[in-house]
Structure 1
Amino acid sequence: MKKLLVGTILAGVVAIGAACSNSTSHSSMQGHDMSNMNMKEENTAKDSSKQLPLATNTKVLSGKEFYLTAKEALLQINDKVKLPVYTYNGSVPGPQIRVKQGDRVIIHFKNDLPEPTTIHWHGYPVPNSQDGVPGVTMNAIKPGETFTYEFTATVPGTYWYHSHQESAKQMDKGLYGTLIVEPKNEEKVDRDYTLVLDEWMSNPNAESNMDMSNMDHSNMGHGNSPDDQHMDMSSMDHDMNMYDIFTINGKNGSAIEPLKVKKGEKVRLRLVNAGYMSHKLHLHGHEFKIVATDGQPLKDPQPIKDELLNIAPGERYDIEFTADNPGEWLLECHGDMKGTDGMKVKIQYEGATNNTDKSNAKEDLPIVDMTKYGKHESGPFTLDQKYDVEYTMDLGTAMGKDGMIYTINGKTYPETTPINVKTGDLAKVTLVNHSPKDVHPMHLHGHFFQVLSKNGKPIAGSPLMKDTLNVKPGEEYVVAFKADNPGNWMFHCHDLHHASAGMVTEVKYKDYKSNYTPDPNDTTNKGE
Structure 2
Amino acid sequence: MTVGPVIDRRMFLAGATAFAMASGPARADSTPQLVARPGKARLLSTDYPETPIWGYNGGVPGPELRLKQGERLVQRLVNNLPQASSVHWHGVRVPNAMDGVPGMTQDAVPPGGQFTYDFTPPDAGTFWYHSHNQSTEQIARGLYGLLIVEEIDPPEVDHDISVVLDDWRLSETGAITEDFDRMHDWTHAGRIGNFTKAALLPQVSRLRRNERLRLRLVNVAVDRIMVIGLHGMAGAIVALDGMPLRVPERTDHVILGPAQRADFIVDVTAEEGEQALLAIHERDEAFVLSHFDVGASGQSVSRGPIAPLPPNPLAPLATTQGAQMARLVMEGGAMGGLRQGIWKGEVLSVRDLVAEGQIWTFNGVAGLPETPLIEVPVGEIVEVPMQNDTAFPHAMHLHGHHFQERLADGSLGPLRDTILMDRGETRSIVFRADNPGDWLLHCHMLSHQKAGMKTWIRVTT
Counterpart-to-counterpart distance in 1, 2:85 and 2:181: 25
- Indicate which of 382, 386, 394 corresponds to 2:322: 386
CA distance in 2: counterparts of 1:250 and 1:155, whole angstroms: 23
Q: Cα distance, 1:216 vs. partner?
A: 6.7
Q: Secondary structure at the match of 1:170?
A: helix
Pick one of 379, 383, 394 that aligns with 1:428. Answer: 383
Distance 1:261 1:486, change over 3 A: same
1:109 alignment partner in structure 2: 77
Q: 1:410 to 1:381 in 2, by over 3 A?
A: farther
User: Does the Cα contact within 8 Å between 1:279 and 1:333 map onto a contact in 2?
Assistant: yes
Kindly provide the amino acid, as one letter, of the partner of residue 281 in structure 1.
I
For 1:78, the aligned partner's letter is L
Indicate the SS of the match to 2:448: helix
Q: Confirm or deny: 8 A CA contact 2:388 2:426 kept in the other structure.
A: yes
- 8 Å contact 1:218–1:438 — kept in the other structure? no
Relative distance call for 1:218 and 1:481 in structure 2 (3 A) is same
Distance 1:69 1:206, change over 3 A: closer
- The Cα of 1:265 is off from its aligned counterpart by 2.1
Name the structure 1 match of 2:218.
272
Distance, in Å, in 1 between the alignment partners of 2:243 and 2:61 is: 22
Aligned-pair identity in percent equals: 33
Q: Which residue of 2 aligns with 1:395?
A: 330
Residue aligning to 2:305: none
Distance, in Å, in 2 between the alignment partners of 1:478 and 1:210 is 32
Instruction: Flag the 1:335–1:477 CA change in 2: closer, same or farther, 3 A.
Output: same
Matched, 1:349 2:294: yes
In structure 2, the residue matched to 1:77 is 43
The equivalent of 1:467 in structure 2 is 417
Q: For residue 34 of structure 2, what is the amino acid of its counterpart?
A: L
CA distance in structure 2 between the aligned counterparts of 1:208 and 1:104, rounded to whole angstroms: 38
User: Structure 1 residues 270, 206: closer, same or farther in 2, change over 3 A?
Assistant: closer
Q: Write the deviation string for residues 366-390 of structure 1: whole angstroms up to 9, x where unpaired.
A: xxxxxxxxxxxx941446x221x21
Dislocated runs of 4+, deviation >6 Å: none
Separation of aligned partners in 1, 2:155 and 2:43: 35
| Structure 1 residue 347: Cα displacement | 2.2
How many residue pairs align between the two structures?
A: 398
- Asked whether the 8 Å contact 1:288–1:304 carries over to 2, the reply is yes
**Equivalent of 1:283 in 226, 230, 233:** 230
8 Å CA contact retained: 1:381, 1:450: no
Contact 1:77 1:250 in 2 (8 A): no
Whole-angstrom distance in 1 between the partners of 2:232 and 2:400: 38
1:470 CA drift (Å): 0.4
Tell me the equivalent position of 1:522.
none
Determine the structure 2 residue equivalent to 1:521: none
Give the corresponding residue for 2:303: none
Once the two structures are superposed, the pairs formed by residues 256-405 of structure 1 within 5 Å of their partners are: 259-275=205-221, 276-305=223-252, 308-326=253-271, 327-336=274-283, 341=287, 344-351=289-296, 379-382=316-319, 385-387=321-323, 389-397=324-332, 398=338, 399-403=350-354, 405=359
- Summarize the alignment of residues 24-103 of structure 1 with structure 2, pairs less than 5 Å apart: 38=22, 66-79=32-45, 80-81=47-48, 82-103=50-71
Q: 2:161 touches 2:200 (CA, 8 Å); kept in 1?
A: no
SS at match of 1:497: helix
After superposition, the C-alpha distances for 1:93-122 in whole angstroms (9 at most, x for unaligned) are 101000001101111221111111111000
CA RMSD of aligned residues (A): 3.0
1:301 is paired with a residue whose SS is: strand
Unmatched 5+ stretches in structure 2 = 4-20, 298-314, 333-337, 339-349
Q: Name the structure where strand makes up a greater proportion of residues.
A: 2
Q: State whether residues 102 and 108 of structure 2, in contact with CA within 8 Å, keep that contact through their aligned partners in structure 1.
A: yes
**Secondary structure of 1:113's partner?**
coil
Q: State how far apart, in whole Å, the 2-side matches of 1:266 and 1:392 are.
A: 44
For residues 323-366 of structure 1, what are the alpha-carbon distances to aligned partners after superposition, in whole Å with 9 as ceiling and x for unaligned?
2433312110011599x73x5100222458xxxxxxxxxxxxxx
In structure 1, give the amino acid aligned to 2:267: T
Q: Give the direction of change, closer, same or farther, for the CA distance of 1:265–1:434 in structure 2 (3 Å limit).
A: same
5+ residue gaps, structure 1: 4-36, 47-64, 222-239, 353-377, 512-528
Distance in 2 (CA, whole Å) between partners of 1:401 and 1:293 is: 40
TM-score by length of 1: 0.70
Deviation at 1:417, TM superposition (A): 4.5
Q: Which has the higher contact order (CA 8 A, sep 6+)?
A: 1
